[in-house]
Amino acid sequence: MRPPAQGAARRRRSGWLPLRRPRGPAELVSAGVVALALLVLAARAALAAVEALTAVRPVLLLLALLAGVAVAARYRRVFTARRRQRERLALLRLSLADLDALDDRRFEYALRDLLVRDGWPARRVGGGGDQAADVIGDHRRRGRIVVQAKHTRVGGKVGSPVMYAVKGTAGPAHGADHAVVVTNGSFTRDAMAWGDRHGVHWVDRERLRRWAESGTALHELLGLPDRSIRSARPRGNRLGGAA
């Protein structure tokens, strides 16, 4: 066993000394003074932190206020723009001459705007692979409508194959409650008869004039029902037989 004197000498050389309890009144007083000094330093640090936060708080409040004002201004601009858009669409009237002058794409957008005017939130979806749907609208009470647009030269006719294609995709592919083919021209007699039998509505030039120019709502023009309770059938099978 190493002698105690050698162990103490080794600890002194390594710079490590064991802690021991204060001995005597003088050491107790010194330890108390040290502890009190540490408490005072901790209290001052906490007070300084509180003062720093107090000084920064008005700046944070100001920044939060400015951010709130900016967000409110943005929402106001968006709300105002949407209100003006609704007001503009509520007064929308398009003459047949206006519609005849459009190209296919702009004709689809015009039909979308007319649906929105009538209370159908709608979007244009026409393009490659559109599966016989150019515009789709969803109404809270009347369900989903799929519109196939056929912009033709004046005097052009839409035949039965278009009706077959719309009937085949409106329900299975788009979950439609109503399918409509709209043209600025006319339909063959067979196309109109087939559509009437199989629940594919058609809007020819005369009906388009009443819808776009006179302002008659499409659901009134076609007699689409007000369905307060949506059908419980799967969406893909909603489009049924003749309306």
pLDDT digits (tens, 9 = 90+) for 174-195: 999 999 999 999 999 999 999 9
pLDDT digits (tens, 9 = 90+) for 149-169: 999 987 799 999 999 999 999
Alpha carbon distance, N-terminus to C-terminus of the chain: 108
Query: What is the rounded average pLDDT of the residues 110-134?
Result: 91
pTM more than 0.75: no
* Closest to 156 measured CA to CA, from 201, 187, 180: 187
Q: Which residue has the tokens 């162990």?
A: 7
pLDDT digits (tens, 9 = 90+) for 190-225: 999 999 999 999 999 999 999 999 999 999 999 998
- The CA-atom distances, in angstroms, between 146 and each of 31, 107, 125 are 87, 15, 10
